[in-house]
Amino acid sequence: MVKQEGNPSRLKETSKVQPLVVVVGLGVSGQAACRWGLRQGYRVLGTDLSRDSRIQTVAATLEAEGVSVRLGEHRLEDFAGADLVVVSPGVPLDTKVLAEARRRGIPVIGELEWAWRSLRVPTVAVTGTNGKTTTTELVGALLQRAGLKVFVGGNIGTPLSGWLAEHGQERADGAALDAALDWCVLEVSSFQLDSAPSFAPDLGIVLNVTQDHLDRYPDFEAYAASKFSMFQKNPAVSQTAVINADDPVCRRWASSLNVPTLFFSRHDASAHAFTDGRTLTAVARDGTGRRFDLSRWALRGTHNLENLMAASLAGLHCGIDPGVIQETIDTFRPSPHRMEWLGSVNGVGFINDSKGTNVGAVMKALESCTQPVVLLLGGRSKKTDFRDLEPLCAQKVRAVVGFGETGTQAAAELSSCVPTVVVNDLEEAFQEAVVRARSGDVVLLSPACASFDQYPNYAARGDHFRALFQRHAEKAAEGGLGVCPRTFFSADAGRVA
């Protein structure tokens, strides 16, 4: 497939020797965008509202590389001479300086969009409220096991512009990039899609759409529309959609797509991919059905079967041999912080699902638990309703421990169906859970919230929970209590933003 030759959305040439690019937000994506701008020969100004020690270190590094940095404020005068503004996913698009830049006719796009305009290799993009990371890693593993050169990143790991910055400046014919890559597999968030007007992957996967980020969108429909915005943008790209037929929102939106659509389902055996939990059947490009054995599939939870169906359909559509798909099913192992089994102490298990940053993710986590649960909820609110958890809490949860900024809200909204308690932070929540849990129970950190009230990211929160468990296990061992070895399984519950 030929991608975006002569893309009309590409930044227009100006008379300046070095056009100015302003990068707003200096997180991982913003830093990558700065380096991509330098690699292309632009003058780059990076700006961030923070002045904390972490961003000071980032600023010093970028300045040493040639980026001008402004911290603590976004100044309108810094944007006045910009030829392009590149915005990081975490920065709201209605920010005053961005609105003013658009009013002045300055293009405002996201890091994903800017990098995408220089990419001319086949691309798989994975989005959805939950399961994006596992599915992205699965698709990448399938292609890599087949011996292909694959970049896996985007909203996980390395941003696309970061990969481009490391692999040289784009040549006019794209040959330098094409030689380094056979496929690009990207996890993409709604925030990234909102600022990516021409992003149109060859294969787009939508796993599910449940309530999330309602602190950023005017309503749920706007959030759902963002997820499906990667289709029908670029007539030069022949797209295919892979959609969850069991998700009612996905099914409704799929009916309006004008691209070939492949459905996966746990309930409809006529879908392009179907599983009964023991085997998975998927339709290959030639129309023949392929059956895969799931006896060695290591990831826990029915939602991970959905992730696997989506990835298997993508693999077959990309021309991967069924034998390679079976080998990947047999050997794939999960990443941390996604239903990560830490071990058990005195008969109580501990699961780190810090990646569970929305209510839908917690639902999937609870559905995968067969033992009574002491559930740790809290963090920074996304303005979702904890009461959606009531049926599962009444069925599976012994107690809810609320912590952080939304701990009180979580406890209040679930108090009618389960005993609740509110504490200040994760360490207090862990101790409270230990007191309340009984032998045979599971203590589950699946917080349904962002981590930013007390941690820089979900991984730091998960690392803290793991450290608390390790300390608890060590004390228990000293006291002669039973401590089971640590093993891992996963039930990916999605990625923030």
What are the pLDDT digits (tens) for 174-197?
Answer: 455 656 899 999 999 999 999 999
Strand 279-283 to 289-293 pairing: antiparallel
- 400 CB-near residues (< 8 Å, 6+ apart): 374, 375, 377, 393, 410, 411, 414, 418, 419, 420, 421
Decide: helix, strand or coil at residue 69: strand
**Which residue type occupies 439?**
S
Mean pLDDT of 302-328: 96
Task: Give yes or no for residue 1 having a pLDDT over 50.
Answer: no
Q: Would you tell me how many other CB atoms lie within 10 Å of the CB of residue 243?
A: 28
Length of the chain: 497
Question: Is the confidence at residue 169, as pLDDT, over 80?
Answer: no
pLDDT digit string, tens, across residues 50-67:
999 989 999 999 999 999
What confidence score (pLDDT) does residue 481 get?
Answer: 54
Among the residue ranges 249-258, 359-368, 424-433, the one predicted with the least confidence is 359-368
Which fold would CATH assign to domain 340-484?
Protein-Tyrosine Phosphatase; Chain A (3.90.190)
**What's the CA gap between 203 and 242, in Å, rounded?**
7
Q: What is the structure's pLDDT at 216?
A: 80
Within 8 A by CB and 6+ apart from 395, the residues are none
Q: Which residues contact 113 (CB under 8 A, 6 or more apart)?
A: 195, 196, 197, 198, 199
Q: How many CA atoms lie within 13 A of 257 on its CB side?
A: 26
More confident residue, 437 or 364: 437
Q: What is the pLDDT of residue 95?
A: 92
Q: What is the mean pLDDT of residues 119-142?
A: 94
Q: Is the distance from CB of 264 to CB of 242 less than 8 angstroms? A: yes
| pLDDT of residue 459 exceeding 50 | yes
Q: What is the average per-residue pLDDT within 119-140? A: 94
Q: What is the pLDDT of residue 368?
A: 83
Torsion sign over Cα 13, 16, 22, 23: positive
SS3 186: strand
Band (pLDDT 50/70/90 cuts) for residue 487 is: very low
**Regarding the domain delimited by 116-331, which CATH topology (the fold level of the hierarchy) does it fall under?**
UDP-N-acetylmuramoyl-L-alanine:D-glutamate ligase (3.40.1190)
Kindly report the pTM of this predicted structure: 0.76
Residues 479 and 69: their CA atoms lie apart, in Å, by 53
Over 90: is that where the pLDDT of 281 sits?
A: yes
Pairwise CA distance, residues 451 & 355, whole Å:
9
405 burial level (CB within 10 Å; 0-12, 13-18, 19+): middle
Pairing of strands 203-206, 397-403: unpaired
CATH 3.90.190.20 domain span(s) along the chain:
340-484
479 vs 30 pLDDT, higher one = 30
Q: In this predicted structure, what is the pLDDT of residue 407?
A: 96
Q: How many CB atoms are closer than 10 A to CB 7?
A: 15
Please tell me the predicted confidence (pLDDT) of residue 178: 58
Q: Looking at the chain, which residues constitute the CATH 3.40.50.720 domain(s)?
A: 20-106
Under CATH, which number does the domain 20-106 receive? 3.40.50.720
Dihedral pair phi/psi, residue 118, rounded to 5°: -110, 5
Please state, for a pLDDT cut of 90, what percent of the chain lies above it: 74
Could you give the CA distance from residue 385 to residue 410 in angstroms, rounded to a whole number? 9
Distance CA 328, CA 336 (A): 19
Tell me the pairing of strands 261-265 and 240-244.
parallel
Q: Is 14 a residue whose pLDDT tops 70?
A: no
Sorting pLDDT into bands at 50, 70 and 90, what band is 301? confident
C-alpha span between 160 and 185 (Å, rounded)? 10
**Over residues 105-120, mean pLDDT:** 95
Task: Give CATH 3.40.1190.10 domain extents, the chain.
Answer: 116-331
Would you give the end-to-end CA distance of the chain in angstroms?
30
**Residue 147: band (very low, low, confident or very high) from pLDDT cuts 50, 70, 90:** very high
Q: How high is the pLDDT of residue 420?
A: 97
**Is the pLDDT reported for residue 490 higher than 70?**
no
